[in-house]
Structure 1
Amino acid sequence: MENNVIISIQGRQSFEDQEPEVIELVTEGQLAQDGEDGYTLSYQESELTGLEGTLTTFQVEPNRVTLLRVGEVNSQMVFEEGRRHLSMYNTPYGALSVGVSTRKMKAQLSDAGGSIEIDYALEIDHAVAGENLFKIDIRKKGLTIRQ
């Protein structure tokens, strides 16, 4: 079953000797159960994120989250706590080798929504490109958020 949902994303990227950069985004998307204990969350990127024309999908399984982007930017990033994954990040300007080392990950989803939190280090062409943390809150469209 697919649900229309409201997705609130907060991302923080830190670089050595610089103030962290924080972005926040609220958008509409779809949440669907995928198999017995997995979920798929997807939404269209906008001009605000600089990825307009790209569909972003999170495939959430126990112990693993895969981020897929298809469109103007094509990429796949795999998050597993305590593991490092390499992938290619294809942009209109060329391809980059991207390494993702996940320090902490928590994903709790149900048909009503839930949350995903991932803390990871990013390498681009084998050079550390920053520390990242993103939190995603998902709720069914029309439901209010409890604080």
Structure 2
Amino acid sequence: MENNVIISIQGRQSFEDTEDETIELVTEGRLESEGDGAFTLSYQESELTGLEGTLTTFQIERGRITLLRMGSVNSEMVFEEGRRHLSMYNTPYGALSVGVNTKKMRSELSPAGGNIEIDYAIEIDHAVAGQNLFRIDVREKRPVLRQ
């Protein structure tokens, strides 16, 4: 089953010796129920995020969330609580090896929506480059009633 949804994303990045950076984005996307508690959530990035021309997809399974980006930026990040995953992050300037160390993760989704929270550290060359927190709220897109 596939639904048109409204996706609200709040992201916070913390770097040593700097003030936290928070971004908020509200966009339309698609939520597909894959059965057995698995979901696929996808949306097109915009100029606002600096990733225009990129499709972002979250593959949500029990105990694992995979973030895929394809287009102007190509990357894959795997989140599993208490585990570290190495990923390649391809940019127009070259590729880097990035470690993703997930501290906490939770997903409460149904075909009608729900929320996802991922708290993780990014490592570049085995050194922590920043702490990140994603909060994603998903709700069904309601038709606009005209009077």
Give ranges in structure 1 of 5+ residues lacking alignment: none
Matches of 2:2 and 2:92, distance apart in 1: 32
Give runs of aligned pairs for residues 1-147 of structure 1, distance below 5 A: 1-142=1-142
Q: Which amino acid aligns with 1:47?
A: E
Please give the alpha-carbon distance, in whole angstroms, between the structure 1 residues aligned to 2:37 and 2:15. Answer: 35
1:12 Cα deviation from its structure 2 partner: 0.2
Q: Percent identity?
A: 78
Deviation at 1:125, TM superposition (A): 2.9
Q: How far does residue 36 in structure 1 lie from its aligned partner after superposition?
A: 1.9
Shift of the alpha carbon at 1:127?
2.5
Q: Give me the TM-score of the superposition, normalised by structure 2.
A: 0.95
TM-score w.r.t. length of structure 1: 0.95
Tell me the matched-pair count: 143
Any unmatched runs of 5+ in structure 2? none
What is the Cα deviation at residue 37 of structure 1? 1.6
5-14 vs 123-132, greater mean Cα deviation: 123-132
Matches of 1:53 and 1:125 in 2, distance apart? 28
Residues 16-64 of structure 1, C-alpha deviations (whole Å, 9 max, x = no match): 1111000000000000011322000000000000000000000000110
Q: Determine the C-alpha separation between the residues in 1 that align with 2:124 and 2:90.
A: 12
Letter in 1 for 2:5: V
Alpha-carbon shift at residue 13 of structure 1 (Å): 0.1
